[in-house]
Amino acid sequence: MAGTARPVVLITGASSGIGEAVAERFSGDAERRWRLLLAGRDEVRLGEVARRTGGRGLRGDLADRAGVERLAARALEAEGRVDVLVAAAGIGWAGPFTGTPPEVVERMVAVNLTGVMHLVRAVLPGMVERGVGRVVLVSSMAGWAGVANEAAYAATKGGLLAFAESLRYELAGTRVGVTAVLPGAVDTPFFARRGVPYHRARPKPVPAGRLADLVWRSVVYRRDEVFAPAWLAWPARLRGGAPGPFRAMAKRFG
């Protein structure tokens, strides 16, 4: 990623869930020996993950623009650059949109979308200047297809997909890539924290370690789009090619 120097990866949401699993996967890459910058809100958990992976914990909250800017500044001060950003932090809420508290909507938009955009804005210029780098945005199938009773969450994740696609066009020819990761359900504390357990029969939750491996592969092999599990690419294509039948199936099977 950066010549003979050990590449630097900044991972958000690293104190638990997908971010924690991604940190563990990158720390196990003996060939590249990544330098890990781990961002999260839970300082205790973050410290544990940092000790286990050999990374450096950077406490930060993506909900606040000033906090995002401080996080980016600390990351650049610590290592001088960021070669890869894995934006894995995210929060959810389940229930009818009309019953979603306004403050929940605002925080979801901030953490899942605008905070990510501000962080990318802070680290992307260095990648472009050096002529190498990758931005990995952990979105969701909810952002691609929409999900009943998760309208606000789906909107934030759909925004990430549009952001990723637009950035790819802007960055053409720079050797800086953008990966959109589209998991279905992932086996993490996410559902417990949103207050509603996962109840659908399919897709079955993907182990966090499996998703982390796909994220790592997307960086190493420069992949622009990752579905997890892989078969979710088929309903995604169906929605694009035959939206009517797709919506009928979605209403019937959830």
Active site residues: 153
Q: Which of 9, 249, 5 is nearest to 134 (CA)?
A: 9
109/173 Cα distance (integer angstroms): 31
Per DSSP, 98 falls in state G
Q: Which of 143, 126, 145, 144 is nearest to 135 (CA)?
A: 126
64/17 Cα distance (integer angstroms): 21
Are 154 and 147 in contact by the 8 Å Cβ rule? The answer is yes
Are 226 and 182 in contact by the 8 Å Cβ rule? The answer is yes
Q: Which of 22, 54, 57, 62 is nearest to 43 (CA)?
A: 57
149/207 Cα distance (integer angstroms): 24
